[in-house]
Amino acid sequence: MKHSLKSCINYLQTALLVVLCGLIIPFGVVKAQKLQSDNGDGTYTNPVIAADFPDPDVILVEDTYYMVSTTMFIFPGVTVLKSKDLVNWEYCSNAVPRFDFSKCYDLDSCHRYSHGQWATSMKYHDGKFYLLFITLDEGGFLCTASKAEGPWEIRKLPKGFYDPGLFFDDDGRIYVTHGYGRISVTELNPDFSPKTKDSLVFTGDIRRGLEGMHVYKINGYYYLYGTYGGKDGIQVALRSKNIYGPFEQKVVIRDTTPGINFGIHQGALIKTQTGEWWTILFVDSGPFGRFPSLQPVTWKDGWPMVGVDGKAVITYKKPDVGKIHPQKIFPTSDEFDSKKLGLQWGWNHNPDPANWSLTKRPGFLRITTGRIDSNLRKARNTLTQRPFAGYDNKPTSGSAKMEVMNMKDGDIAGLALFQDPYAFVAVRQLNGTKEIIMVNDGVTVDSVPMNSKTIYLRTIASNSTGKALFQYSFDNKTFRQIGNELLMRFNLSIFTGNKFCLFNYATKTTGGFVDFDWFRTKFESL
């Protein structure tokens, strides 16, 4: 009965979301909550995805667009999305289930916060998908698959390339661009080992930080499409008749207009089936992270100029891909009824598979403590998910129902927003008794006695104000605030956006566990 009831509720919630996305109620003052980019009238509004999908690379294969983004230390990671129209995106796969190339990815006496996978180059060649990326500590890696849905194979390469741009030329040769400030080209062997030495082809001369190059061959020119990075990014194109240069440079957009497109940069050029040109770049968008933005491209004198009249667009007509496709909504809420985690979830570093389960108690996510840790930043089996920002600037809430009767002394389990700083509301057991605590930046700022076996936890976070608060309830109706506000940041010490987290870690003894019945998100009223 529990599963069928939960499934029914989940179905009704999903149906309601789909209706709300397309419905505008014609009563003047009453309007449906805007949940995604597609406006339902042939236009879209940026960001094209209001969540942390940075460093996008996008390709078209047959009638489907694929996007890859940076996930760094989150696994399953190296997230691949798919779309039929460049506006409505959905999860396709996580190409790397776990990353077993250093003990630091197990949070074993070290970590990979602000490191790990980033700036992946995506290509499709001779029936195979390729993902080429670097980690600063471990080097270069290549993932391949015959389908974007996977399964993907990963292998370590003999050499890594910073912010690589993979390119298969017409004559069968393989090249990669790479570098920071000084951009080089290297020819590769069929096994992706270097065939030649690195050849310096361009040195950035606008300012420091030229990077993120993607390579295209259009009308006889090689284009290197990259950025002078930073919050006030500058998107440029380099072009030459020869892959080794000399290259000339053109600023294709430099938009520092305050708002959702400030500093738009780093991404991919895309040609649609109908011959239109577009680009997906990203914007540093606040504590929730870096959001993709879809912009039109107009060719002028052989240069791909972005936006309209030098400015990035906010609301604009959708790309013409030859057909009209339905709106899509990313999954966020989870009743934990499946035997597998949804693609929206990823663990903070590699999980310990022996200490979490969706099957030991069907319909629940069980997290068991497997070792002693001093704080959340060091804890394994912390399950994370990107929050989505509201298009109407409404804050986003994440809530969870948690059963706590099997905790042990020293255990701390609950719901967090994680970045640097982080904060959480949790249950802590000490000397056989439980209390509800709120921890902000590692400091316990409030506690309340608890005698219940079940608790509902909630955090409400605003990407626009940068503030988050934490609440608890015993009936899922009346919520009480605990502690103080978290002043969220997008800190480069972590380098991914703030994330919702479900966790349970031990400070004294292992073996205790909690069961999460569900996790749900919604946009809250201001």
Count of beta carbons in the 10 Å neighbourhood of residue 408: 16
Q: Which amino acid is at 356?
A: W
Tokens of 18: 């789909």
Alpha carbon distances (Å) from 2 to 363, 448, 453? 8, 30, 18
Q: Is the dihedral of CA 31, 41, 55, 179 positive or negative?
A: negative
Q: Compute the distance between CA of residue 35 and CA of residue 309 in angstroms, rounded to an integer.
A: 29
Confidence of residue 103 (pLDDT cuts 50, 70, 90): very high
- The size of the chain, in residues, is 526
pLDDT digits (tens, 9 = 90+) for 402-415: 999 999 999 999 99
Q: Compute the distance between CA of residue 439 and CA of residue 482 in angstroms, rounded to an integer.
A: 10
Could you tell me the domains of the chain?
Answer: 11-317 (2.115.10.20), 345-523 (2.60.120.200)
pLDDT digits (tens, 9 = 90+) for 263-287: 999 999 999 999 999 999 999 999 9
Nearest to 46 by CA among 409, 240, 231, 291: 291
pLDDT digits (tens, 9 = 90+) for 130-154: 999 999 999 999 999 999 999 999 9
pLDDT digits (tens, 9 = 90+) for 187-229: 999 999 999 999 999 999 999 999 999 999 999 999 999 999 9
What letter does residue 334 receive in the DSSP assignment?
B
pLDDT digits (tens, 9 = 90+) for 210-219: 999 999 999 9
Mean pLDDT (whole number) for 352-361: 98
Q: Compute the distance between CA of residue 97 and CA of residue 248 in angstroms, rounded to an integer.
A: 41
Tokens of 387: 């929050």
Question: Does position 15 have pLDDT exceeding 50, yes or no?
Answer: no
Q: Compute the distance between CA of residue 413 and CA of residue 408 in angstroms, rounded to an integer.
A: 11
Q: Which amino acid is at 11?
A: Y
Query: Which CB contacts under 8 angstroms, 24+ apart, belong to 434-440?
Result: 434/404, 434/407, 436/472, 436/482, 437/412, 437/482, 438/470, 438/482, 438/483, 438/484, 439/376, 439/483, 440/483, 440/484, 440/486
% of the chain beyond a pLDDT of 70 = 94
Question: Does position 525 have pLDDT exceeding 50, yes or no?
Answer: yes
Whether the model pTM is above 0.85: yes
Q: Which residue did the predictor score with more confidence, 26 or 240?
A: 240
Q: Kindly give the pairing relationship between strand 396-403 and strand 513-523.
A: antiparallel
pLDDT digits (tens, 9 = 90+) for 413-464: 999 999 999 999 999 999 999 999 999 999 999 999 999 999 999 999 999 9
Q: Compute the distance between CA of residue 448 and CA of residue 433 in angstroms, rounded to an integer.
A: 11
Question: Does position 32 have pLDDT exceeding 90, yes or no?
Answer: no
Confidence of residue 6 (pLDDT cuts 50, 70, 90): very low
Question: Does position 2 have pLDDT exceeding 60, yes or no?
Answer: no
Q: Kindly give the pairing relationship between strand 423-430 and strand 433-440.
A: antiparallel
Confidence of residue 33 (pLDDT cuts 50, 70, 90): low
